[in-house]
Structure 1
Amino acid sequence: MCTTWDPPPKPIETFVFMDLEATGLPPSQPKIAEMCLFAVNRHAFENPQYSNFSLRSVPLFPRLVDKLCICINPDKAFTPEARLITGLNNEAFSENKKQSFNIHIIHMITAFFNRQHSPVCLVAHSGCSYDFPLLKAELSAIGISALDEIYCADTFKALKALDKENNRLHQFTYQKFGSKKSYKLDDLYFKFYKEYPLNSHSAEGDVITLIRVFQQHARDLMHWMDSNARQFNTIRTMYKGSERRASISRAPWSLQHPSFLQVGPCQPRLATMYSFPAGDDRASLKQNTAEQGYDQFRPLNNTDIPDEIKNMLLFLLGLAIITWIVLNPV
């Protein structure tokens, strides 16, 4: 689901590891139920810390990590397989009063990325085939173009490519005796740590597992991503479902958009905050904003005032003039 791309102009400075849990797999048009982002600076991977009490040279988990974990009501039924694997269900989201994917999540994500030192690369295992296209689908449903300045990289593809380049069996993959090579995240973790990870198939648990696997070949993986990461806007949307427009937040901080939230041409006033689908002309954009109830924010012009009000205003103006003349004779 990835197209051609241009690599980052300079080495990546921040790696944002992401995992999504959702209602199912394609082609069921899944919806995101959990999203977790951990931001790790390049310095942490280039200068790993080790425990003084460990018998093995196992790097410690990075200490300075920014984290953003969000539970999202998918407003769609989980498939039986997804319920079993993730342990999530629609009843739990309703009972815990969780909101759906909306404009507030966009604010949180863009603010999170704005805090990171650029270039920033979004990293996910099998990201090009699942996580990135699914996130793109949710953003498209909101009707906002976001994260276009962000790069992204798939660790599944990276490990396979590194194995092919180095031509060394078992270096970047896990293989049991007599079985095929496996690039599954749990198997890779077992290879390096001789145990399976805890909390698999929770968004936060899988992000932690991915970072621990990444640490084992951090320099190789970072070097590969410096040359092979691609812009997030080159990722194809997993599907195009029914579009649900974002509601405007009335919070004061929402009046200024983050830099990663792409800005469209300044036509109607509110179009400066939200980028509508390509090809919308002024007439269709006006219809879109009217459908969302944005007309109440639009400045009035002469054609917006009803004739009855115009006549009343003229009458009052004339009456005021006559009163002034009577009270102030020449």
Structure 2
Amino acid sequence: MSVQREPIYNFAFIDLETTGFPSQKSTTRITELSISIVESKQLSLGIFPTVLDRINLCFNPCKFISPYATRISGLSNHLLQNQSRFSLNVVKTIDNFLNLHKKPICFVAHNGDRFDYPILRAEINNVKGTTFEDILCIDSLKCFRDLHVESNTSIASPSNEYFCREEVDGPFSKKAKDIPIEFSDGLDELLCKSVDEYEEFVQMQNIQKNNETTPQKRINSKKYYKSGKQRISFKLKDIYKRLTSNKPKNSHQAEVDVEYLIQCAIKYGDVFTRWANDNAKLFKDIPQMKPAFSKITV
């Protein structure tokens, strides 16, 4: 249930690159952070901002960056060896940057609830920083999934809460003809960015091993959502390609992924901002990534 609050004025699109995939036995650290601010009214009108306030920071994680993470982000321990660590000053810098803009402000991250937000919370907690008490957040993965469903049911159900307005324009209005009918139920929280691709890589290795040892019970390796013979992915690069008809380049670079995310949100326009206002929650309420970080000696 949504909480009654003042409508979101600014969206802070955020993306992280990290040292690798977090697990129960190993922490992951931020190697790059990118935030871009976009006014809600610009998104509602479907306008890409002519002025885009942004901050982009790279960090020495003081931890080995996995070869996989280096391959997809281009960041290595050698490249980051002279960068500063994630510190209390970094938290203050981010906070000051956010405070330059009118509130309420809402973070937008793709798979943010399971990846970006918990990892950022853990980094902030590790340096004993304050967790942006009044900043809201949404997970664009959940948003785009929900709006995809709504766009495909709006014609059949005129009472649809997001697509029932006649003024909704663009490729997701009720007049659209190019939306593929390809949604099915299922969990999609893991279909995202490097987390998804890393898991898929590990899963393929396990599949090969299991199929070699237990051929009587083969494993389905497809991590898509089926609807009849069709299937759909909610990875950011695939959403971007579907919505813009452009092929993504240099994905998994934080600043680039933020721009892709903004472009996708703009395609939904007012529908996106209404969903965000209905589903936003406080960033401080997101649980931090576990396990806790081990203290780094300076």
Same fold flag (TM > 0.5): yes
Residue 128 of structure 1 corresponds to 113
* Cα pair 2:44 2:266 within 8 Å, conserved: no
Does structure 2 conserve the Cα–Cα contact (< 8 Å) formed by 1:34 and 1:203?
yes
Q: Aligned-pair distance for 1:138?
A: 0.2
Say if 1:159 and 1:172, in contact at 8 Å, map to a contact too: no
Q: Which residue of structure 2 lines up, in the alignment, with residue 44 of structure 1?
A: 42
Displacement after TM superposition at 1:244 (Å)? 5.5
Cα separation, partners in 2 of 1:200 and 1:81, compared to 1, 3 Å: same
Q: Residue 182 of structure 1 corresponds to which residue in structure 2?
A: 233
* Residue 190 of structure 1, CA deviation: 1.1
Give the secondary structure class of the aligned counterpart of 1:144: coil
Going from structure 1 to structure 2, the CA distance change for 1:104 and 1:68 (only over 3 Å counts) comes to same
**Residues 1:116 and 2:112 aligned together:** no
- 2: distance between equivalents of 1:171 and 1:202? 31
C-alpha distance in 2, partners of 1:68/1:74? Answer: 18
CA distance in 1, matches of 2:69, 2:33: 15
**Unpaired segments ≥5 residues, structure 2:** 154-178, 184-223
CA distance in 2, matches of 1:244, 1:144: 16
1:83 equivalent in structure 2: 70
Q: Which residue number corresponds to residue 241 of structure 1? A: 293
Q: Distance in 1 between matches of 2:142 and 2:42?
A: 23
Counterparts of 2:239 and 2:2 in 1: how far apart (Å)? 29
Q: Distance in 2 between matches of 1:161 and 1:222?
A: 13
Structure 2 CA distance, aligned partners of 1:25 and 1:7?
33
Residue identity in the other structure for 1:75: C
Summarize the Cα distance change of 1:238–1:162 in structure 2 as closer, same or farther, 3 Å threshold. same
Q: Distance in 2 between the 1:214 and 1:33 partners?
A: 25
User: CA–CA distance in 2 between the matches of 1:171 and 1:127?
Assistant: 26
Q: Quickly say closer, same or farther: Cα 1:171–1:10, change in 2 above 3 A.
A: farther
1:218-229 equivalence runs, <5 A: 218-229=269-280
Deviation of 1:191 (Å): 1.1
Conserved? CA contact 2:137–2:282, under 8 Å: yes
Structure 2 residue matching 1:237: 3-state secondary structure: coil
Gaps of 5+ in 1: 50-60, 248-330
SS of 1:137's equivalent in the other structure is helix
Q: Structure 2 counterpart of 1:192, which letter?
A: L
* Structure exhibiting the larger radius of gyration computed from Cα positions: 1
1:175 deviation in Å? 8.6
Conserved 8 A contact 1:8-1:229:
no
Q: Which gives a bigger RCO, structure 1 or 2 (Cα 8 Å, sep 6+)? A: 2
CA displacement, residues 238-279 of structure 1 (integer Å, 9 cap, x when unaligned) = 12122469x9xxxxxxxxxxxxxxxxxxxxxxxxxxxxxxxx
Structure showing the higher helix proportion among its residues: 1
Q: d(CA) in 2 for partners of 1:193 and 1:146?
A: 34
Distance 1:201 1:193 in 2: 18
Q: Aligned residue for 1:24?
A: 20
TM-superposed CA distance for 1:6, in Å, is 6.1
Change (3 A) 1:81 1:154: same
TM-score scaled by structure 2?
A: 0.71
Change in Cα spacing, 1:145 to 1:214, as seen in structure 2 (3 Å) is same
195-204 or 116-125: bigger deviation: 195-204
State the one-letter code of the partner of 2:55: L
Cα 1:24–1:8 shift into 2, 3 Å: farther
Once residues 3 and 259 of structure 2 are traced to their aligned partners in structure 1, the CA distance between those partners, rounded to angstroms, is 26
Aligned equivalent of 2:88: 103
- Checking the alignment, whether the CA contact within 8 Å between 1:143 and 1:243 is kept in structure 2 is no
* Deviation by residue 1:72-91 (Cα, 9 ceiling, x = unmatched): 11111111211111111101
Counterpart for residue 67 of structure 1: 54
2:283 is aligned to 232
Equivalent-residue separation in structure 1 for 2:283 and 2:266 (angstroms)? 23
Q: Offset of 1:8 from its aligned partner?
A: 5.7
Q: In structure 1, which of residues 186, 208, 214 is the aligned counterpart of residue 265 of structure 2?
A: 214
Give the whole-Å Cα distance in 1 for the aligned partners of 2:61 and 2:4: 33
CA distance in 1, matches of 2:91, 2:182: 35
Q: Is the Cα–Cα contact under 8 Å of residues 8 and 151 in structure 1 kept in the other structure?
A: no
C-alpha deviation, 1:16, in angstroms = 0.2
Measure, in 2, the Cα distance between the counterparts of 1:101 and 1:89: 16
Q: Hey, what does 2:215 align to over in structure 1? A: none
2:139 is aligned with 1:154: yes
Indicate the SS of the match to 2:31. strand
Aligned residue pairs total 229
Partner SS state of residue 8, structure 2:
coil
CA, structure 1 residues 195+175, in 2 after alignment: closer, same or farther (shift >3 Å)?
farther
Task: Name the TM-score, length of structure 1 as normaliser.
Answer: 0.64
